[in-house]
């Protein structure tokens, strides 16, 4: 590619106003070294614009995004079915829950307990399983 001559139009990034259209002011050893912004008339060294990255349609840009999308695509199904003979109770971290018990969480909505230990429960919600605390003494 041929180097533009002094006075020619060239693309460069202006640090002052962000514009890209400039006039070549100085060329040394066939390389542009100084330009003048056409928008704000500022002089600065030549900064060529970076090429824009174009992502291929339908292709994830990172492994983390791909893993997150794959996880979201899976519809969770309960391992332990809810005990329909028990009433739905509001979730309170000071209460003690048992496996199969149905509960209503203020933020996550309806769910049921799948696993219960002494201080934690694993609750199945329609979107995903969540670990919650229970039996907390205040």
Q: 103 falls in which pLDDT band (50, 70, 90)?
A: very high
Judge whether residue 90 has pLDDT over 90.
yes
pLDDT at position 1 = 60
How many Å apart are CA 5 and CA 32, to the nearest integer? Answer: 9
Six-digit token pair at 118? 């002494």
Report pLDDT digits (tens) over 31-74: 888 999 888 888 998 888 777 666 666 554 677 777 766 665 55
Tell me which of 56 and 75 has the higher pLDDT.
56
What ranges do the domains of the chain cover?
Answer: 9-45, 89-133
On whether the CB atoms of residues 129 and 108 are closer than 8 A, the answer is: no
How many Å apart are CA 55 and CA 64, to the nearest integer? Answer: 16
Residue whose pair of structure tokens reads 């907390």 in the numeric block? 136
Report pLDDT digits (tens) over 6-27: 888 888 888 888 778 888 898 8
Phi first, then psi, for residue 67 (nearest 5°) are -65, -40
DSSP 3-state assignment of 44? Answer: strand
Q: What average pLDDT does the chain have?
A: 83
What is the enclosing helix (H) or strand (E) of 122?
Answer: strand 120-124
């Amino acid at each position: 590619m041929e180097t533009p001559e002094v006075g020619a139009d060239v693309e460069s990034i202006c640090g002052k106003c962000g514009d890209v259209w400039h006039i070549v002011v100085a060329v040394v050893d066939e390389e542009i070294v100084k330009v003048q912004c056409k928008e704000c008339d500022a002089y600065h060294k030549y900064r060529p614009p970076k090429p824009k990255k174009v992502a291929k349609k339908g292709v994830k840009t990172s492994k983390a995004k791909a893993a997150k999308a794959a996880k979201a695509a899976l519809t969770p199904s309960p391992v332990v079915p809810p005990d329909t003979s028990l009433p739905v109770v509001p979730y309170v971290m000071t209460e003690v829950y048992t496996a199969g018990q149905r509960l209503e969480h203020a933020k996550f909505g309806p769910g049921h307990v799948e696993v219960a230990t002494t201080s934690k429960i694993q609750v199945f919600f329609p979107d995903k399983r969540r670990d919650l605390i229970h039996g907390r003494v205040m």
